[in-house]
Amino acid sequence: MQLTVFNGSPRGKGSNTKVLVDQFLDGFMKGNGNSYKIVYLNTTKDSDYLIKMFEEAEKFLLAFPLYVDSMPAIVKTFIESLESLCGRKENPDIGFLVQSGLPESIHSRYVERYLKKLSASLGCNYMGTIIKGGVEGAQAKPVWMNKKLFNSFYQLGKTFGETGKFDEEIVDRLAQPERYSKIHPLSYLS
């Protein structure tokens, strides 16, 4: 299986998005014959090149951080460049990874609904959206502090590499907590 990944973080190779994608790809590459291409939207301004990569993709993963309950402008610009491909029968299967520093997944659910509608508009098979909150600072922590998080993304990539689908149990687990209770010490963030 061939996977094309676009990292839409403005921080590019210095991003928490990259840290999670790297773990996913490590697992993905355990599958026989799997390969991937990765593009950083913060360094690639040639929209024709990006569109061509999307057109040629078998499976496509768009990964980005949530900033103030929204996607980065470079991601929105890329999405808008795909307008001419809406409804094209050869469009790839598409999935998304949305991570944020906010601890609750509920903050990412609105963009998830948008991404599902985007997939339908493009005529792509929607593989799902991986949501993970509380990621800010992940790259600055010692590896042992991220072991559970990294293992989850590794296992998710491994399963994807074997089946071409996101493991729903892992996706659900990564999305916790959905929302803190009103008595939780961090509930003031909601």
pTM for this structure?
Answer: 0.92
Contact 54, 4 (CB under 8 A): yes
pLDDT at 31: 82
pLDDT value at residue 185: 58
Full domain range(s) for residue 152: 2-189
SS3 state of residue 12: helix
Residue 49: per-residue pLDDT: 96
**Residue-level pLDDT at 27:** 97
Res 167: pLDDT: 97
Task: Kindly list the averaged pLDDT for each block of 10 residues, start to end, along the chain of length 190.
Answer: 97 94 97 94 93 97 90 96 94 97 88 96 97 84 84 97 97 89 57
pLDDT at residue 136, as a whole number = 83
Contacts 24+ apart (CB under 8 A), 155-160: 155/27, 156/24, 156/27, 156/130, 157/23, 157/24, 157/25, 157/26, 157/27, 157/28, 157/29, 158/27, 158/28, 158/30, 158/31, 159/27, 160/24, 160/27, 160/28
CATH code of the domain covering residue 104: 3.40.50.360
- Please give the pLDDT value at position 158: 97
Tokens matching residue 98: 């949305």
Can you give the pLDDT at residue 189?
Answer: 55
Count structural domains, the chain: 1
